[in-house]
Amino acid sequence: MYINEVCNENNIIEIIKNKYGNYVIQKAVKLSSGIFREKIIGKISKVINKLEDKRIINKWKAIISFKYY
């Protein structure tokens, strides 16, 4: 349920732009697995270019391309 709420397109953009929310999403990506992780990364991939801050865009591109084992 948490993943579905966070993955709402409007929510995820606002969460990523917020420094505390950004931390929460990073932790969710790092700690999730399987379909939940794929869902978060997929949604971030879809909205990443809607962000205005190039620094945040580059940071998230690096995060979603990193493989957690």
Is pTM, for the whole model, over 0.85?
A: no
pLDDT in tens, 35-45: 888 988 999 99
Range of the domain at 45: 2-64
Answer whether residue 15 is part of any domain.
Answer: yes
Q: Per the domain annotation, does 36 fall within a domain?
A: yes
- Residue 69 is assigned to a structural domain of this protein: no
Q: Quote the number of domains for the chain.
A: 1
Position 28, amino acid: A
Helix axes 9-17, 34-47, angle to 10 degrees: 80
CA dist 43 and 24 (Å) reads 15
Percent of the chain at pLDDT > 90 equals 16
In a domain? residue 48: yes
Dihedral sign, CA of 26, 19, 61, 4? Answer: positive
Residue 26 lies in a domain: yes
Q: How far apart are the first and last CA of the chain?
A: 24
